[in-house]
Amino acid sequence: MEAIPLLEFDQDKEAIIRPEKRKRLPKFCVLLMYNSVINKLTLDGHLEKIDEYPTPFVTINVYQVAYEGNSIVVVHPGIGAPLVVGTFELLIAQGCTKFVAFGAAGVLSSELQKGNVIIPSIALRDEGTSYHYCPPSRTIEINPTVVKKLEAVLLKHDINYTIGKTWTTDAFFRETRTIIANRKREGCLTVEMECSALIAAAKFHSVSFGQYLAASDDVSGNNWNPRNIDDRFVFRERLFWLSIEACLEL
């Protein structure tokens, strides 16, 4: 029997299709997973659109923000590991080397209230993209030095946070009670769709990557709790600026 294809990792970095080097970008980049925040920042004059990446499904807009004398790229890279990592590679090809992602995650414990911040230090690889960037393994770790730097920013601004394991999956309609119970036993705090793949791609390209996750919906009970009574928009915008600050520390 042949091996499962995802286990056939090839370390050759010269692929047939490679990301286009369209223009040179600043080295700092925040991957912001909230279009509502991007729209507000654009209306307020903080973000300037500098490029776009057309795809068959969506156009990825590339913005730039000035902060304390630095230029930082800001991008909503899409949703799901394949699209997000594709955007990530385009940004790396154009010169970005320091990345902080900020987005939402479902929680596997109701003790993590909506809006609580989680800094993932390790991710369970339950998606397919990461296996094209790193040899097979059950989990993959973020550089501990990066985690410490993201933590220091939250401590400085007195933001409550938790550091721990996240579960990255491609199939949000397959988060069954049995699988969730298994993930909780492994110590997973959150579930999302990109982290482990971004960690793997960052390691493959030798760039820095860290992530903030805002606790969102709750999948820890017998029924899904979307917990959408509070949009937390102001909090998200504040965490964006803290992501900028953290990115500059990498």
Collapse the DSSP code of 24 into the 3-class scheme (helix H, G, I; strand E, B; otherwise coil) and give the result.
coil
Residues 81-102 pLDDT 10s: 999 999 999 999 999 999 999 9
HEC profile for 125-190? EECCHHHHCCCCCCEEECCHHHHHHHHHHHHHCCCCEEEEEEEEECCHHHCCHHHHHHHHHCCEEE
Question: In terms of pTM, does the model score above 0.85?
Answer: yes
Examine residue 105 and state whether it is found in any structural domain, yes or no. Answer: yes
Q: Range of 181's domain?
A: 23-249
Within-domain flag for 210: yes
Report pLDDT for 1.
Answer: 57
Q: Is the pLDDT of residue 214 over 70?
A: yes
CB within 8 Å of 209: residues ≥ 6 apart: 99, 100, 101, 142, 143, 146, 198, 199, 202
The alpha carbons of the chain give a radius of gyration, in whole angstroms, of 18
pLDDT above 70 as % of the chain: 98
Could you tell me if residue 15 is inside a domain?
no
Between 16-20, 24-28, 70-74, 129-133, the lowest mean confidence (pLDDT) is in: 16-20
For residue 10, being part of any structural domain is answered with no
Residue 59 has pLDDT above 60, yes or no: yes
Residue 6 lies in a domain: no
Number of domain units in the chain = 1
Any domain includes 12: no
CA distance 38 to 47: 8
The mean pLDDT value for 141-169 works out to 97
CATH of the domain at 87: 3.40.50.1580
Residue with tokens 């520390």: 249
Q: Classify each residue of 26-60 as buried b or exposed e, where b means 16 or more C-beta atoms within 10 Å of its C-beta.
A: bbbbbbbbbeebbebbbeeebbeeebebeeeeeeb
- Residue-level pLDDT at 73: 98
Give the pairing of strands 70-75 and 161-169. Answer: unpaired
Residue with tokens 């500098």: 50
Q: How far apart are CA 239 and CA 43, in angstroms?
A: 18
Segment (H or E) for 67? strand 59-67
- Asked whether residue 1 is assigned to any structural domain, the reply reads no
Q: Tell me what pLDDT residue 218 has.
A: 94
Lowest mean pLDDT among 17-31, 85-99, 190-204: 17-31
